[in-house]
Chains A and B, each alone.
Chain A
Amino acid sequence: MSGRRYNTKGINVLEVNSAREAHARTVHARLPVNQQPQQQREFAREQIPVPSRRVFPRPATATPRHVCNNPNNPPCARCGTTIIPSPRATLPLEDCPSVTIDNWTISTRKRPILNSQEFEDWENNRLKGLALPEMIFGNNYVRIENTRDNWSLEFNALDALKHVKLEDSGIRVAYSQKWINSKQEKHKRQMPGGANFDIEESSLKIAHQYDWTYTTKYRGTEEGTLRLQRDDEASLPIDKLARPDNILFFDDMILFEDELADNGISMLNVKIRVMDERLLILSRFFLRVDDVLIRVIDTRVCIEFQENKVLREFKEYEGAYKDVILRHRSSHSHDPKAALRDSNWVVQNTPLVSRQCESLAF
Chain B
Amino acid sequence: MFDLDRVISLLRQGRHITEETVYALCLLSQELLMNESNVTHVNTPVTICGDIHGQLHDLLTLFEKSGGIEKSRYIFLGDFVDRGFYSLESFLLLLCYKLRYPDRITLIRGNHETRQITKVYGFYDEIMRKYGNSNVWRYCCEVFDYLSLGAIINQSVFCVHGGLSPDVMTIDEIRSVDRKQEVPHEGAMCDLLWSDPDDVDTWSLSPRGAGFLFGGQQVQEFLSRNGVDLIARAHQLVMEGYKEMFDNGLVTVWSAPNYCYRCGNVAAVLRIDDDLSRSYTIFEAVQPQNDVGNTILPTRKPQMDYFL
Indicate if A361 sits at the interface (CB-CB under 8 A).
Answer: no
Assuming A135-B237, A334-B128, is B307 touching A175 (CB within 8 A)? Answer: no
Whether the Cβ atoms of A290 and B120 lie closer than 8 Å is yes
Tell which of A25, A180, A241, A334 touches B308, judged by Cβ atoms closer than 8 Å.
A241
Let me know if A247 is at the binding interface, CB within 8 A: yes
Q: Looking at the complex, which one of A29, A182, A205, A263 makes contact with B299 (CB distance below 8 Å)?
A: A29
Report if B208 contacts A (CB, 8 A). yes
Q: Which residues of B contact A116 (CB under 8 A)?
A: 238-240, 243
Do A29 and B210 have beta carbons less than 8 Å apart?
no
Q: A111 near B185 (CB under 8 angstroms)? A: no
Does chain A have a CB within 8 A of B289?
yes
**A179 touching B209, Cβ below 8 Å:** yes
Q: Is B304's CB under 8 angstroms from A208's CB?
A: no
Number of interface residues of B (CB under 8 A): 67
Question: Can you list, as one digit per residue, whether each of B164-208 has a CB less than 8 Å from chain A (1) or not (0)?
Answer: 001101000100000000000111001000101010101111111
With CB as the reference atom, state the residue of chain A lying closest to B112.
A262
Partner of A3 from the list B61, B187, B204, B236 (CB cut-off 8 Å) is: B61
Contacts of A338 in B (CB 8 A): 125
Residues of B near A273 (CB, < 8 A) are: 304, 306-307
Q: Which residues on B sit within 8 Å (CB–CB) of A186?
A: 167
Is A91 at the interface (CB under 8 A from chain B)? yes
* Interface residue ranges of A100-131 to B (CB < 8 Å): 110-116, 119, 131
Say whether A207 contacts B307, CB under 8 Å: no
Contact B210 A135, beta carbon cutoff 8 Å:
no
Instruction: Determine whether the beta carbon of A263 is less than 8 Å from that of B239.
Output: no
Is A339 among interface residues, defined by CB-CB distance under 8 A?
no
B286 interface residue per 8 A CB criterion: yes
* A252 touches which of B119, B212, B238, B302 (Cβ 8 Å): B302
Tell whether A282 is near chain B: CB-to-CB under 8 Å. yes
Query: Once the chains bind, are A1 and B166 in contact (CB under 8 Å)?
Result: no
Across the interface, name the chain B residue whose C-beta is closest to A123: B199
CB of A88 within 8 Å of the partner chain: no
A309 at interface by CB-CB < 8 Å: no
Taking CB atoms, residues of chain B closer than 8 Å to A91 are 284, 287
**Which residues of A from 49 to 99 have beta carbons under 8 Å from B?**
91-93, 95
Please give the residue numbers on chain B whose beta carbons come within 8 Å of chain A beta carbons, in ascending order: 60-61, 64-65, 111-112, 117, 119-121, 124-125, 128, 166-167, 169, 173, 185-187, 190, 194, 196, 198, 200, 202-213, 221, 236-240, 243, 259-260, 262-265, 283-284, 286-289, 291-292, 299-304, 306-308
Chain A residues engaging chain B, CB cutoff 8 angstroms: 1-3, 6, 18, 21-22, 25-26, 28-30, 32-33, 91-93, 95, 110-116, 119, 131, 134-135, 168-169, 172-173, 175-180, 182-183, 186, 196-200, 202-210, 212, 238, 241-242, 244, 247, 250-254, 260-263, 271, 273, 280, 282, 290, 334-335, 337-338
Query: 22 A-B residue contacts at CB 8 Å?
Result: A1-B286, A2-B291, A3-B60, A3-B65, A18-B289, A22-B287, A22-B299, A25-B299, A29-B301, A29-B302, A112-B264, A135-B260, A176-B209, A179-B185, A179-B210, A186-B167, A198-B169, A200-B203, A202-B202, A242-B306, A254-B262, A262-B120
